[in-house]
Structure 1
Amino acid sequence: MEMDKLKKWLELTQKFQGDNFWEQIFDEKSVEKVIKSPSISPFTKIQSSFPKCDLYETDDVLVIEAEIPGMRKEDLHITVNQQLLTMTGEFKTLQEGRKYFIKERANQTFKKEIILPFPIKTTQIRTEIRNGLLFIFMPINKEEIETIPITFDQLTPE
């Protein structure tokens, strides 16, 4: 049984060592496929991959779920300016007076900006932190979504 696992592992490592694999990773056409993915809106602006977030709509409310394990609310700041949500903060993991043998979780500051797909009611935004996830609930402002009328020139037959 262990020999089968070893063979699979060796096949996998050979795949990653080949030039073809890395050429596909950095191939412009492959990148375009990811960018043109229907699940990613071209209007979504994400400058930082940290913290990891999901943005979705449910019952006329935009919801952001952000991974912030161990972060204190005092070290996190959220602002909304028009349709741009900005999260800034600092993970503080280094503790004075400790003798670390392994230190993989570094102190880290971040700034993440997300362009929201709809205008929101900024006075009704609600936040919660549960199990290391930050939830931001933003009611969609339907009154600010404009429908633009289309008129056609009526040509009279001559």
Structure 2
Amino acid sequence: MTLPVRRRPGRLPERPLPSLGWGEPLATEFDALFDRMNRLLETVPMAPATAGMMAWAPPADLHETDDAYVIEAEVPGIQREDIDVEISDRELRITGERREREPEGVLRRGTRHTGHFEYRALLPGEVKTGEVRANLADGVLTVTVPKAQAAKPHHIDITES
């Protein structure tokens, strides 16, 4: 079932609360909370000049193997010198910039991101930060982060006395 959306001129759309049986006082508090959130969002500048300065994130996959975490980020057309990989504790950060090229002819449609990009990943376990490797091939940046050697369980034989 869809619910109607209330609209006020110059304001973000609001969604009414479904009846959850909480009573009028709680519904009033939620309405007040939504109003405050809408006012806060209206104060955030979203001018086109500001939106162009925001970083974009390249598509990436994070795999876990027995020995390492492997991140594969798609960065086609970006040179090795324009990419920076940093790791601190368990947070991996890939940053860089795709420079805008001088178009040949008239650009009819542009869907590729340009400018500053950033990818962050919080790795789930302890890692060896000194042994991180990064490789760029065919537009894919592969970062291999070795896991710290945790105490592995081993079998203990029980003897009879």
Q: Shorter-chain-normalised TM-score: which range?
A: 0.5 to 0.7
Report the aligned-residue RMSD.
2.9
CA displacement at 1:49 relative to structure 2: 6.5
Per-residue CA deviation, residues 111-135 of structure 1 (Å, 9 max, x unaligned), is 2211011111111111111221100
Give the aligned partner of residue 76 of structure 1.
83
1:129 to 136, 139, 142: 136
| Mapped partners of 2:113, 2:59: distance in 1 | 16
- State TM-score, norm by structure 1: 0.55
SS of the equivalent of 2:81 reads: helix
Give the aligned partner of residue 107 of structure 1.
114
* Conservation of the 8 A alpha-carbon contact between 2:56 and 2:117: no
Q: Which of these two proteins has the greater Rg computed from alpha carbons?
A: 2
SS of the equivalent of 2:84 reads: strand
Unaligned runs of 5+ in 2: 6-14, 16-54, 152-161
> Percent identity, aligned pairs only?
30
2:149 to 142, 146, 154: 142
Give the aligned partner of residue 62 of structure 1.
69
| Mapped partners of 2:125, 2:56: distance in 1 | 22
Give the aligned partner of residue 159 of structure 2.
none
Unaligned runs of 5+ in 1: 1-18, 28-47, 146-158
The structure whose residues are more often helix, as a share, is 1
Per-residue CA deviation, residues 32-84 of structure 1 (Å, 9 max, x unaligned), is xxxxxxxxxxxxxxxx7621111111231110000001111111111111111
Per-residue CA deviation, residues 4-45 of structure 1 (Å, 9 max, x unaligned), is xxxxxxxxxxxxxxx96xx9xxx9xxxxxxxxxxxxxxxxxx
| Mapped partners of 1:92, 1:110: distance in 2 | 11
- State TM-score, norm by structure 2: 0.54
The count of aligned residue pairs is 101
